[in-house]
Structure 1
Amino acid sequence: MARRALGPAALEVAGAVVRALGRHGADRTDPGRPRPVVVGCSGGADSLALVAGVAEAVRRRERPARVLVVDHQLQDGSAEVAEQALAQCRRLGVDGRVTRVDVDGAGGPEAAARTARHRALLADAAADGALVLLGHTLDDQAEQVLLGLARGSGSRSLGGMAELREPLLRPLLGVRRATTEAACAELGLPPWVDPTNTDPSRARARVRHRVLPLLERELGPGVAEALGRTADLLRADADVLDELAAEVDPGTTPDCTVLAALAPAVRHRVLRRWLVAHGSTQPSRQHVLAVDALLTDWHGQGPVDVPGLAVRRSDGHLFAR
């Protein structure tokens, strides 16, 4: 499409993309060369605005950029939606392709679709070491924090999404969804609306359309921004705790006295890593705490069952089988 002057919303999106690429967009082997990017686009407002921002960033500093539209084949007409999304991207000056994936696996349809989508994006990016750009916004971050709070999650989950989790880059985590929608309107891009995003049977849809708006009405504007700051703070704390836990080598049969001396937040991480290393599948907090009691509340109790394992204490050490 012929280049048009950017309105204020499109400029905000473009600025966020330019700054993120300025921080993370250098080639890993040659820092003076810009790294290629592949943009995941669904045709929704967030990802279309992201493509527009990438087009502007590439105009300001040339770099290889392409789009990958993933068709999950979960809804009637999904192929047409994918082709329309690709056409919109081409109008913006960023070419690409559509890929179709089969959605299956554990965790429900939303998690399985995300896994299939990420697998396709990562495979595409691996060809030239590209960054994968995703269109998650501040609203997505706030919704994730609220869902984590409702589940009683820990700091890693409440830390939400990082701007960069190599090779995934999320340039719009500081941008509101209303801004991406306004950017599409300014650019004359009609976005696709995913019907699952308004399905009241889905918890995320209820948080998006009921809970977060209610909080902003009752507590005043800025709730999403505050939740985003909370995520940043908790993610930084979780990163440090993960690093401290990674420095502890529990060995094959951990010494109970050594582990019991660790701070609980570090000890629990070490125990969870040890359980996973011995074949446990997704041990929950309750499982970790039950094993932790073999260290901190030992009174001769029997083995603890965790998914895929039984853990027992003997002669001051933990054993898994």
Structure 2
Amino acid sequence: MATPEAPLREILKSVSFTQFPLRVIEPFFVADKIVKPRLYIYPSFAVHKETMANDEKRPMLPTFDVKSLYMLTALKFAKYDFDIAYTSEPDASPDGSLPFLLLRDGTALDFKAIMSKLQQNSTELGCATEEQPDYISDVDGDLEMPKNELPSEPVYRTMVENNLLPVIEYLTWTDPVGRECIGEGKYLGSYPQIIRNMLSWIAATDTAHKLKLGLPEYGADAMVLDGEVLYENAFRTLDSLLVLLHTVDDSRLFLAGAPSLLDALVFACVNVFLYAPVKSPVRTALLKSDSTYKPVLEYAVRIFDQYFASA
């Protein structure tokens, strides 16, 4: 075999590596650049006509999930400038659940982290501007609800959390119709049927354990009796909110004089009851023509018109 006239080393020396790469192929798929914080929430209800009864003209609710609607409303109250991204996959969240807020620098805040900032920091949350471009990630004190005029606001909020949210959990995972329409149909709708059934059973079991439903000492009808107790507690809470509304002003936009976490939570709970494709006792009581809770319904409608009508 003949020896090459030019050794390999000489050939490599003659090549200018500054010309590489000779060609750059742009990627077909590029992640969207985060221009401003993005709130990831569950999508809205697809409400069926047979569940609408006498309120067919209701506009679309932004999301079917009470926590997602709670957080969305709170950030709107705080006048925070953010985008909304709809998803049914919560695994990207730091705690594995929706909602969560993705900041411009890639930091993800879960529900508890956002609520902690809303409750603890000392200045109002404002829209991002050229003078304040760094959002929550670089400024500690820029995420809080405006100051309200109701000293007992945390007490009322705890009451709603303890009495209305459990009913929504019960309606979603334990009530047979609600479990099929909401739990399996909405939260688990993207899974194959057999996986959906397994996850639904696990969620129903966890919910029953969490809410202490169906204790053996109450007999075979324990689950039904516990559900009735949950609804009784919900109505007592609505009665308390009704008294508070009468105390402040039936036509007032906010219970606490300024937008508060209490208003965001009550608004979220009431609307989830109204929009859920299940005729729960709470929904029936709210929509009766001569309903005692008409002021509560009108209060929720006023907030919807103010913050969501143009959404």
Q: TM-score scaled to structure 2, two decimals?
A: 0.28
Q: Which has the higher contact order (CA 8 A, sep 6+)?
A: 2
Using the size of structure 1 for normalisation, the TM-score is 0.28
Max Rg structure? 2
